[in-house]
Amino acid sequence: MRHSRFYISLYIIIPFIITGLTILASIISFRLTKYYLGQGSDPALPVFWFIILVGILTFIIGFSLVRFILRPVEQFVEKAVKLASISNGTVHKRKEWSVNKIEQFATVFDRVTSVLSRMDARHFFPQIIGESLAMRGLLSLIKKVAPTDSTVLILGESGTGKELVATSIYENCLRENKPFIKLNCAAIPAELLESELFGHEKGAFTGATKFKPGKFDMANQGTLFLDEIGDMPLNLQSKILRIIQEKEFYRVGGSNTIRVDIRFIASTNQNLEKLVQEGKFREDLYYRLNVFTLHLPPLRERKEDIPLLVDYFLQNLPKKVEISSVALQMIMAYTWPGNIRELKNVIESAAVIAENGFIEPAQLPGQITGAFMNSDSKQASLPVNLPLDERINEIEKSMIIEALRKTGGVQVRATELLGINQRSLWHRIKKHKIDVKSIKSNEI
């Protein structure tokens, strides 16, 4: 026979127990006082010892409840801080845990949440490389909007990966097994774009020798991605608006209404609001597209993702190539106006001319090495006649100190910025005699 179980929240049980003990103690104190007064005795001493007894009992019950609730949490935290992905590279002594356990718990839970967030992003969007806070926020939005049929507008600079985001939305939507049609509005001449979008009937214009389906025909029941929609001519924008609103269109040279069911995703590297103000983009179309907007951060705003991107590009090269920590730091110091596309091209170019399978600063373009040398006054002030080995050592030391400063002395995070492992960083800190404690206290 199956027994029913009832679960009561701890938010109810604990206050109920404390309240019950308080009421019980009050009733018994009242009864004791009344009893001893009836006997003609002073009730002060019995009531005093009863209060002491109740206090001890309440303390034991409260301690047991806290122990029962917090002990599993404490065990979890103690195990979590031993993991490299959770700890900050420092070993916590047991005495330190008694100072402020709640603060320690909150810190560890934040780190666990961060790690789980990264794992979640990798699971659902393996093609999108990025673990920065900005990217995790973006991936969270993609995960929410993907299963819907809402129109999505992707905004971002050239080379930030707008097409990859559009593909990820499609791969996680309800129309995944339906057509996914892409069209770059800037890559097709204006006079051919209408035919490309709507298709044409035979004899619609000179050269139209046969019927041709358009992108809207192909995307029916599926998803249509209009890349660089900001470059679309004004005369076509009204027709696009009609399709979004009415779900119907006419082919070029045709008179029959064609009905379609399409989910729209659009992207642009332009400021559509500014184009609307200048009269170069229809305001009604802008608001039809701007249902759910995704803003892709430029690479300069998520530099912590650069080591991951570099590693990804190196792994996909036909030959095995690695990159030195100095070259990686120079890459991270660059502003990357061309974003991920420019980074990919630089890595592939440097890998071609890399000697002994190792990318050094010498293989990087001049604008990257020059920007790095000019960005750090300590490096720029190095004597010109300083021997190469000493100059490299000084640059490496400066880079490590800068990475430790940016991460507040947390060595695990510094290794992510530098693109090296913890053991390598520890040896370099020892070699250069860097005082990490002074950096943590902002003394260096």
120-124, 182-186, 198-202, 421-425, range with the lowest pLDDT: 120-124
The string of pLDDT tens digits covering residues 4-50 is 565 666 667 777 877 888 888 888 888 888 888 888 788 888 888 88
Indicate whether 444 pLDDT > 60.
Answer: no
What percentage of residues in the chain have a pLDDT greater than 70?
Answer: 80
Q: What are phi and psi of 335, to 5 degrees?
A: -85, -20
What pLDDT score does 276 carry?
94
Indicate whether 380 pLDDT > 50.
Answer: no
> Could you give the maximum distance between any two Cα atoms of the chain, in Å?
121
- The 3-class secondary structure across 9-21, one letter per residue, is CHHHHHHHHHHHH
Q: Which two tokens stand for residue 184?
A: 């770059």
What pLDDT score does 191 carry?
78
Query: CA-CA distance, 380 to 384, in Å (whole number)?
Result: 9
Q: List Cβ neighbours of 411 (8 Å cut-off, separation of 6 or more).
A: 88, 89, 90, 404, 422, 425, 426, 429, 436
pTM exceeds cut of 0.85: no
55-69, 211-225, 336-350, 366-380, range with the lowest pLDDT: 366-380
What pLDDT score does 170 carry?
93
Which of 186-190, 221-225, 235-239, 439-443 shows the highest mean pLDDT? 221-225
